[in-house]
Amino acid sequence: MYIVRSRKIAQEEDQAMPRTDSSDLSETAAAERVLGAWDLRPDSLEYMDHGLINRTWRVRGANGASYALQCLSPILGPEIHQDIEAVTAHIAARGMATPRLVGALGGDLYVERDDGVWRLLTWLEGEFHNRLENAAQAEQAGALLARFHMALVDFETPFASKRRPIHEPDRRIRDLEQAIASHRGHPLQAEAGKLQRRTLDLLAQLPPLPETPLRVVHGDPKINNMLFSPEGEGLAMVDLDSLGRLSLPYELGDAFRSWCNPAGENSEETGFSVELFEAARSGYLDVATFITDDERSCLVDATLWITLELTTRFTADILNDRYFGWDPERFASRAEHNLVRARGQLRLAESLLAVRPTLG
């Protein structure tokens, strides 16, 4: 067997941090050992150095098949595999490509070891991108996400995982208020306070979002969770650990926030791309025949709400210093990295607010 270390996405990653010890031979040896639970003896293991949460290897088996082996982050409970299995079976039955869990020898969807929970998924061939380069890519991204949502419109199975919704702007605002109050002596407390005040000023300019139906959503629709063909066609949504039911405008707002910021999340020099937004929105709406008028009408405001929500999260972590990963090669501390991120998201919101009247 041979071992390869790989970066599948050549472009700079928005939040992926340099790994310190994930390439250890000991970790790869652990990955090789756990494959015995699936009776797999790999020809090669290729460490995929681009995930933020889980550790992933591409496994090439002696039979020529490829798989994705993952060791899950401890923040994820094993019950998510029931959700992934149910959702991917539903999607596959509707003719859409999707990674599928591979059962271990005993039929289990995952394997527990002392070093964590492991799973094996089918491997889908294609290309990942870290950011959109042009309107054609944006249109394909929108269409792919719409097909994913369309395939799940009639999915009625309750979710086994009972996690709190990630998008709760009011709660995030309260979390930031608490962080400000709890870190009076922090060297960046004044900067965090400025960001808080400006964020609240912008939020006060936004109308509340309408009440809309809860939809089955991906939960993390950033562009590098989408697989494309070499010709640029959207093929499949991957990284399905955030599945759940959510108001659709929140899901789309998060997608457009991420897709339409060419500078990425590690820069203060952000700006909202109207060209990418209009192409992505058009690609989505051309496919998503289920969408209601209320959902359609608030997509711009939802993008603003989610952008400012993330601003509050980055600002809170300037002070709390415990959640988001950070890049020690570019920043002196997690707090300084989060300061740049928060400023970048705030500027992105200001950029979108400036063009909001033109977007309909």
What residues does each domain of the chain span?
Answer: 2-122, 135-358
Over 80: is that where the pLDDT of 104 sits? yes
Tell me the whole-structure pTM to 2 decimals: 0.90
- Residues 15, 267: contact at Cβ < 8 Å? no
Return the CATH number of 135-358, one of 1.10.10.10, 3.40.50.2300, 3.90.1200.10, 3.30.1330.60.
3.90.1200.10
Q: How confident is the model at residue 50 (pLDDT cuts 50, 70, 90)?
A: low
Tens of pLDDT, residues 3-23:
444 434 333 334 434 344 444
Instruction: Supply 162's token pair.
Output: 């009972």
| Domain 2-122 identical in fold to domain 135-358 | no
What is the C-alpha separation between 157 and 260, in angstroms, rounded?
33
The highest-level CATH class for domain 2-122 is alpha beta
Helix %, strand %, coil % for the chain, to 5? 45, 15, 40
At 273-324, the pLDDT tens digits run 999 999 999 999 999 999 999 999 999 999 999 999 999 999 999 999 988 8
Please spell the DSSP secondary structure of 290-314, one letter per residue.
T--HHHHHTHHHHHHHHHHHHHHHH
Please compute the mean of the pLDDT values over residues 159-173 and round it to a whole number.
88
